[in-house]
């Protein structure tokens, strides 16, 4: 889980909807969201972005859990570095919610002449097959390798080097074979994660609330977070933008939605702007939104047991610098 990205240095930079977490000056790689309507037919040459691979005879459908593929079906993305096969495979990953799917990497072994087409596929299904040191089968002959033979990624890299390193990676993606089906929630390639879940959202209500109301157990603020894998464990976090961390756990519902009500204790309620967010423990999807805690109005009774006379300056946190809500606050939801 990537929660450590948020609390490692205490620095959180979040945007409404999809959060971009900046730690130590290095931004997290870009995420994108794709549904079943965004897979046009294969073209030659391959188009940029996602498309349906030629020869697909099955079905594709978007579900709350991810992209449902019924074989034979293949999805490919033509936006990829053209070289660097070893490092790309080493950093690749994909999440299979259910079923069988196999990674695939089409390439030209002679990039200049656009010849020597082959597709490399792991011998093992699922993310376990992405091991560069395990067997991968080539669909075509190149160098000393026969079509249908199995070798490790370092062996393929060495053979491509022997051929002059003049190769071109054409795409990356997955294939679900005939008679199989799979639900895929994400693929990571070249440092970017491609999500097949609904684009996540975050909504906080109300967006502005008084010190007295935020600590009122009948009020507080409510966050609704979407875009998670159904029924996955969720970590709820709170931040001021300068410091923060996890405050509670929850579970996404059957639609991948989490509703969480945040109510700090009266002692911990303080004026300031806060980020309230959620991170999927399995999917690593993270979203957040902001809300503001403002000073009580003159007509609002002081939350302390002994309220000051009207003529006495209010001693509420209106004059207190904004601080994060402490971990010993009470929470409901």
Q: Which residue has the tokens 């992209």?
A: 67
Co-location of 59 and 125 in the same domain:
yes
Q: Which of 249, 266, 243 lies closest to 328, judged by CA?
A: 266
Q: What is the pLDDT of residue 316?
A: 36
Q: What is the pLDDT of residue 29?
A: 52
Q: For 28-61, b where at least 16 C-beta lie within 10 A, e where not — what string?
A: beebbbbbbeebeebeeebbeebbbbeebebebe
pTM of the predicted model over 0.75 = no
Cα separation, 239 vs 224, in Å, equals 17
301 occurs within a structural domain = no
Cβ–Cβ under 8 Å, residues 105 and 89:
yes
Co-location of 163 and 214 in the same domain:
no
Of 195, 225, 240, which residue constitutes the final position of a domain?
Answer: 195
Co-location of 270 and 202 in the same domain:
yes
Neighbours of 20 (CB within 10 A): 14
- SS3 label, residue 6: helix
Q: What is the pLDDT of residue 112?
A: 76
302 occurs within a structural domain = no
Co-location of 187 and 205 in the same domain:
no
327 occurs within a structural domain = yes
Co-location of 168 and 259 in the same domain:
no
Cβ–Cβ under 8 Å, residues 230 and 253:
yes
Co-location of 67 and 154 in the same domain:
yes
Neighbours of 263 (CB within 10 A): 21
Which range of residues forms the domain containing residue 101?
36-195
229 occurs within a structural domain = yes
Low-confidence ranges of the chain (pLDDT < 50): 1-28, 302-333
Peptide bond into 45 cis (omega under 30): yes
Q: What is the pLDDT of residue 153?
A: 98
From its phi and psi, is residue 126 left (phi > 0), alpha (psi between -120 and 50) or beta? Answer: left
Of 195, 220, 254, which residue constitutes the final position of a domain?
Answer: 195
């Amino acid at each position: 889980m990537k929660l450590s990205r948020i609390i490692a240095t205490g620095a959180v930079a979040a945007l409404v909807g999809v959060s971009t977490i900046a730690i130590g000056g290095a931004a997290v790689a870009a995420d994108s969201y794709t549904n079943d309507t965004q897979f046009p037919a294969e073209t030659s040459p391959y188009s940029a972005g996602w498309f349906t691979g030629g020869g697909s005879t099955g079905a594709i459908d978007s579900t709350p859990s991810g992209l449902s593929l019924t074989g034979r079906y293949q999805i490919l993305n033509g936006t990829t570095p053209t070289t660097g096969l070893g490092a790309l495979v080493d950093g690749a990953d994909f999440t299979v919610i259910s079923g069988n799917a196999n990674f695939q990497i089409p390439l030209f072994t002679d990039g200049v002449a656009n010849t020597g087409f082959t597709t490399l596929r792991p011998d093992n299904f699922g993310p376990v097959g992405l091991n560069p040191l395990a067997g991968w089968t080539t669909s075509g002959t190149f160098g000393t390798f026969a079509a249908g033979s199995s070798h490790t990624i370092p062996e393929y890299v060495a053979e491509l080097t022997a051929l002059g390193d003049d190769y071109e990676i054409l795409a990356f993606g997955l294939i679900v074979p005939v008679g199989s089906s799979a639900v895929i929630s994400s693929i990571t390639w070249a440092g970017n994660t491609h999500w097949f879940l609904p684009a996540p959202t975050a909504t906080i209500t109300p967006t502005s609330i008084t010190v007295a109301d935020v600590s009122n157990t009948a009020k507080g603020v409510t966050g609704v977070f979407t875009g998670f894998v159904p029924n996955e464990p969720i970590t709820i976090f709170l931040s001021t933008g300068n410091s923060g961390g996890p405050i509670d756990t929850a579970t996404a519902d059957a639609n991948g939605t989490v509703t969480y009500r945040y109510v700090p204790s009266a002692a911990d309620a303080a004026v300031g702007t806060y980020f309230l967010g959620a991170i999927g423990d399995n999917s690593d999807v993270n979203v957040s939104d902001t809300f503001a805690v403002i000073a009580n109005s003159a007509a609002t009774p002081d939350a302390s047991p002994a309220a000051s006379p009207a003529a006495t300056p209010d001693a509420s946190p209106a004059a207190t610098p904004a601080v994060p809500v402490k971990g010993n606050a009470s929470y409901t939801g």
